[in-house]
Amino acid sequence: MNKLTNEEIRNYLPHRYPFLMVDKVISYELDKSITAIKNVTFNEPFFQGHFPDNPIMPGVLIIEAMAQTAALLGCISMPKPKDGTLYYLVGVDNTRFKRPVVPGDQLVLEAIFEKVRKNIWKFKAKATVDGQLVASADLLTTVMESDS
């Protein structure tokens, strides 16, 4: 079973605190699928305002966590790109939220590669907590080299 540590994730993704939404990758199969973990703690900065008396992880950040997971699958499946190359989220379709994510939850993030066409990668993604579906979406990403 292939895995990635947090250090290895940071070698692939440009995101850093407080926006790195993947703690570790627990399994992946190149060009096929990936499963990652995001541990949600009360110390997350977004809980200060969303919402102070009833902390709930914003849905857009759950989407971001799924997108970072999909980007990791793209990164590890392709030949190493030039420095400065970035994966961009260019579309989110068929998104559904099924239940709130709260402090103490462990998000299990899954992305399945569907196809690539004209440099647009399509993934099916979902997030679960304790085996219950939290969110799902179809994600579209692209890869762009830096201008510098």
Catalytic residues: 50
What secondary structure does DSSP assign to the chain, as a single string? ---B-HHHHHHH----TTS----EEEEEETTTEEEEEEE--TT-GGGGTS-TTS----HHHHHHHHHHHHHHHHHHHSPPPPTT-EEEEEEEEEEEE-S---TT-EEEEEEEEEEEETTEEEEEEEEEETTEEEEEEEEEEEEE----
